[in-house]
Amino acid sequence: MEFRTFCDNKGCNKEMSPVVDPKTMEVFCTECGNKINCVSGFMARQLVSFGRVKRLQKQKLPWSIQCQDCKQYSPPDLKDDNLVCPFCHKPHLHLAKPFEETIRQHIKTRKNSNT
């Protein structure tokens, strides 16, 4: 069963299932994203135990892939016609060939349009 309450922020006042920042134990509205004060400390601890914690949203760029070595997400660079990680400069060897070719074409097209 999910805990639901109403947001106490002016302009929102929507019913939602709040989330908690486990470090500060502040409770946030999932509709407007602002801090709310209508939830008790006991309920905040319960929300943490239920797993309703605020997570950081990763902003991904187009064609981003995760490097198998440094674990960073980013679009790869093209070096000597090989796709390499822009952080550790190691080649991406784990990609399927059709996907690799698609990314390679995208990078070449992007470079040609910038010049």
Dist. CA 105–CA 100, nearest whole Å: 9
- DSSP β-bridge partners for residue 66: 73
Domain holding 108, by residue range, is: 65-114
Is it the case that residue 109 has pLDDT exceeding 90?
no
Residues 44 and 10 in one domain: yes
Q: Please check whether residue 55 lies inside any domain of the structure.
A: no
Secondary structure class of 15 (helix, strand, coil)? strand
Total domains in the fold of the chain: 2
Residue 58 maps to a domain: no
Residue 9 within a domain = yes
What residue spans of the chain are helical by DSSP H?
41-50, 97-114
pLDDT attached to residue 61: 76
Percentage, residues of the chain above pLDDT 90: 53
Cα torsion angle, 93, 94, 99, 103, sign = negative
Q: Residue 27's pLDDT is what?
A: 94
pLDDT digits (tens, 9 = 90+) for 44-92: 999 999 999 988 766 667 888 999 999 888 899 999 889 999 999 999 9
Residue 88 located in a structural domain: yes
